[in-house]
A and B are shown apart, each in its own frame.
Chain A
Amino acid sequence: MTEDYFNFTDKLFAREDIDKKAEALKGIRVLDLSHMIFGPTAAKTLAQYGAEVIKVEVPNQGDYWRGGTYWGKYWKHSNPLWHFINPGKYFVGIDVKKPKGKDLILQLAAKADVIIENFTSGTVEAWGIGYSQVSKINPKVIYASLSTYGQFGPRRYAPGWDLLAQGASGVLSVTGYPDTDKYFKVPDFFGDFFPAYYAAMLIFIALNYRERSGEGQYIDGCQAEILMRTLSHFTYHDATGESLGRTGNMDPTMSPSGIFKTRDGKFVAVAIATDKQFQSFCKALGRDDLAENDTYKKAASRLKRENALALNKVLEEWVITKDVQELSGLARKHRFAAAEVMDDVQISQDKWREERGSAILFEDDMYKKLLVEGPIAMLSKTPGRIKWLTRPLGYHNRYVFKKILGLTEDQIKDLEKERVVGTWDYRVGQRPPIYHDLSKDRMFNYEGGEDH
């Protein structure tokens, strides 16, 4: 008798074993020169799978996202929404505009496997830490420049971020209801996060290639272009001669589909993807007539605009007669896709996400408990993990400068005096939480010796 499949997989992905397992990117050193969300998230993905990521910030200023937050609400002197973007990194404060600062960055760059930056095109070159300089001292390096419009093309110097990339790529123009003057952006900086994962994918491709060939290379991660990669609208336009435009809350690739209100005032998304699903959906509805109707039987005809709209109406009128629980039960019984619209609190309290490791209640030495996202992909042998949340600006200066660059305490003190390296100022987001006793913090006061 073979073991039950889910018993097998539950063991394969057991959360309590994660810390004992290998790390795929162990020994890979990443120099993260980026700021805000796009670059840092790409670097975070590498840290998650075991790379040593050194994040460089300007002393007394730091990454601007340290001081950003939603609705002006901070948490333990930090932006709570900064912790899941930069966990498990080493934080150093170096002023790139000082010649000695630039030299320090180049020394780190010489020892790095991957470098990530997301300034406007040309900025790092002007600072003297671009690929053209670094590749001379470290030809095997993989150097990723991430920007809104890319490194070449007439708009390359235009600055931008999430919102602008959504606008420039066409993504913004496809969400909302037709015939209204409102275009909804995809929230939560999707225009940064998706391109960040895509950029990480390009870096993983380059790492695989380097493992085969020993060669490094330069990557041009173009945010707007990466967003375009998610749209079928371009192909649609050239194939049909028409524009798809906005389609409200229905999905025009599935019929019926939409998000509707239930009897108990909740919202449920329902979408029917295949002919088989349509047949069982009609059973749930008790509408054999629809199941046998030639107009609706086959996807090609069911998807036609007028047919889809007619079915959506039937679906909407059915959903309002059911409670959300009842609907979920029917969907499971009849094997069609239905899901309640989940909000922030429901997601944060979802037991499934916790068991899965998609949301992790992390116990951090400095910040204590915080619920943060887990990896998208769960790997059975080399799972992603979080080792610590973020740290204050320049917190790892001594660790990195002594351990990696071999500087002495006196040399670091001199650099501090010259304001080449440094830590935080009073502003929220840069400094440690008020209860944290720095004098007893061995990492902050690193003297040498044991690993972190």
Chain B
Amino acid sequence: MKEVRTIKERVYSRYLQKKGASKLSDWKNILTQLTTSEGKAEALDDMMVLDLSYANFSGNVTASFLAEAGAEVINIEPPEGDPSRIMSPYGANVKGVGIPYLMESRNKRQITLDLESPEGQDNLKRLVKRADILIETYAPGQMDAWGIGYRQLRELNPGLIYIAISPYGHYTAKGREMAEMPWTDLTSQAESGLAALVGDLPDAPEPYNWPTRAGFYAAGYTSAVGAACGGLVASFFKRRTGEGQMIDIATADAYASCVGFPPTIGYVWKKPRLRYGTLDYGLCPYGFFKCQDGYVAIACFRDQDFRAALKLLGQWKIEEEWKTLLDRITDDIEKVKELNSVVEKAVSKFTYKQINEKFASYSVKAAGSKWRGGGLPVTTKMMTPDEVLQEEHWQTRGTFPKIAHSSYGIVTLPTTGKMTKTPLRVKWISANIGEDNDYVFEKYGLVKK
């Protein structure tokens, strides 16, 4: 691998020495700037965010994203705490705090307010006057009934950006009808068309052919990134006009609106897709195949990539039958299985290292040659999270900072968002109930009972 990498760098460097290409030193300078966040500005350090998320993890994550970009995020919980604290795989926790909650407690301030009491509401209003963004996940209408909904708070602060996250949203007839339905990631996956597509082929035994959950908060994180994008667009508008607004996210839909395939496919083809196991609706081969020491990706999109893969896997004899992309994106599942099994058999003879070296050196030669029809076969090995943590590449990039906390010890968590001027970063974690009450109450002049 090391040797292949060096050859590849040489090939690319040669391009960079061509007339009109950039100076290698200029490019290297920029890359060096990406490697650290030390001493750099924070993009949102003039922004104050109130996070009222309750039993809905997408709210916590939305606030995290903004906190990593420098916003002052105050997490407001009832005195007994947010139930999300213990939503954790098999209940795993560190001193009573669940793993997902711990991971998303980055750069936040933790305070407690009883929003059902007049004192709590008054304190919230004091904060709202100073705030740019408020995030809430209560049942639609609940905050309004408490007298602290969007239409009341916008009177106090016309620049407030009010982000509401709920399963079916704060408007439409269904939003009203389903207002009391609680959030979960699993039901959001089901409702948004994800679960229907994950699972083994129809002829596989039960329950393996049933709809299956993507093994992480796929719907929750999608809702969160959508909410953060909306909040930042609104904040950009506020910087230009001073105006705030309300933003509505429906977690039962967010995933479908993110990937976009389910509505358009249902409309155009009038036929739902079935679960497709490890096959792919769009391409063949496009998947991970079992090799002698793990699983390896074979993904060929262009015809030249497919030809290259066939040559490298020693399967050139079938090229005629599967020549063009149109041959390989058929809806005939038997044909797909046939091509898939050829690749499966071929791959099973090799180790990952063998395949990777063949593929890498081929693509290096193709990149170096003047003949542009050579194809670019790509591959990688399926990594488990434990293996990912060990990889040099992510260690170099600083993907997994280890953050110390007096109660929880050292916590490892993923972060990403490398930028030359205002990179995202994790500065601290704060996850005890009311951990920052003193700091926040004092700083913003809140009243203690």
Q: Which residue of chain A has the shortest Cβ distance to B93 in the bound complex?
A: A300
In the assembly, what is the distance between CA of A184 and CA of B91, in Å? Answer: 25
Verify A201–B383 contact, CB threshold 8 A: no
Q: How far is the CA of A211 from the CA of B241 in the complex (A)?
A: 12
How far is it, in angstroms, between the C-alpha of A106 and the C-alpha of B367 when the chains are bound? Answer: 24
Flag whether A174 is at the interface (Cβ < 8 A). yes
What is the CB-to-nearest-CB distance from B49 to chain A, in angstroms, rounded to a whole number? Answer: 13
* Chain A positions within 8 Å of B260 at CB level: 81, 84-85, 188, 193, 372-373
**CB neighbours of A435 from chain B (8 A):** none
B89 touches A173 (CB 8 A): no
A197 touches B418 (CB 8 A): no
In the complex the two chains form, is A152's CB within 8 Å of B34's CB? yes
Q: A127-B21, A184-B212, A267-B210 are in contact. Are A234 and B400 (CB under 8 A)?
A: yes
Question: A194 and B258: CB pair below 8 A?
Answer: yes
Interface residue range, chain A: 35 or more
A116 within 8 A of B: no
- A206 in the interface (beta carbon within 8 A): yes
Besides A205-B69, A249-B199, 17 new A-B residue pairs in contact (Cβ under 8 A), listed by A number: A5-B149, A152-B35, A169-B383, A175-B213, A198-B417, A231-B414, A234-B388, A234-B400, A253-B89, A269-B186, A269-B211, A271-B184, A271-B185, A273-B184, A299-B86, A352-B175, A379-B233
For the complex formed, measure the closest distance between the CB of A146 and the CB atoms of chain B, giving whole angstroms: 12
- A303–B91 touching, CB < 8 Å: yes
Q: How many chain B residues have a CB neighbour from A under 8 Å?
A: 199
A161: Cβ under 8 A from any B Cβ: yes
Q: Which of B119-127, B281-289, B313-321, B440-448 contacts A (4 or more CB under 8 A)?
A: B281-289
For B312, list chain A residues within 8 Å (CB).
none
Q: Is A422 an interface residue (CB 8 A)?
A: no
Main secondary structure, interface of B, reads mixed
Q: How many angstroms from the CA of A370 to the CA of B15 in the assembled complex?
A: 43
Selected contact of B211 from candidates A176, A185, A237, A341, CB within 8 Å: A341
Q: Are A370 and B264 touching (Cβ within 8 A)?
A: yes
Q: How far is the CB of A193 from chain B (nearest CB, A)?
A: 5
Q: Within the assembled complex, what's the spacing in Å between the Cα atoms of A258 and B420?
A: 43
Fill in one digit per residue for B149-161: 1 if any A CB lies within 8 Å of its CB, else 0.
Answer: 1010000000000
Q: Which chain A positions have C-beta within 8 A of B78?
A: none
The verdict on B200 contacting chain A, using a C-beta distance below 8 Å, is yes
A439 interface residue (CB < 8 Å to B)? no
A167 contact set on B, CB distance < 8 A: 288, 295, 297, 380-383
Q: A110 → chain B, closest Cβ, in Å?
A: 16
Residue of A69, A130, A198, A378 with most partner-chain B CB within 10 A: A378
What are 5 A-B interface contacts by the 8 Å CB criterion? A9-B171, A163-B287, A206-B419, A218-B33, A232-B100
B384 touches A170 (CB 8 A): yes
| Nearest opposing residue in chain A for B384, CB measure | A173
* Residue A335 interfacial (CB < 8 Å): yes
Point out the residues of chain A lying under 8 angstroms from B190, CB to CB. Answer: 259, 267-269, 339-342
With CB as the reference atom, state the residue of chain B lying closest to A332.
B181
| B1 CB, min distance to chain A CBs, angstroms | 9
Contact across chains for B230 and A243 when beta carbons are under 8 A apart: no
Q: Is A292 an interface residue (CB 8 A)?
A: no
Please measure, in the bound complex, the distance between the C-alpha atom of A273 and the C-alpha atom of B55, giving whole angstroms.
7
> In the complex the two chains form, is B215's CB within 8 Å of A175's CB?
yes
Q: Are A187 and B198 neighbours in the complex by a CB distance under 8 Å?
A: yes
B30 within 8 A of A: yes
Q: Are the C-beta atoms of B418 and A150 separated by less than 8 Å?
A: yes
Question: Contacts A122-B16, A159-B376: A182 and B172 contacting too (C-beta < 8 A)?
Answer: no
List the B side residues contacting A302 at CB < 8 Å: 91
Q: Which of A219-227, A282-290, A402-410, A442-450 contacts B (4 or more CB under 8 A)?
A: A219-227
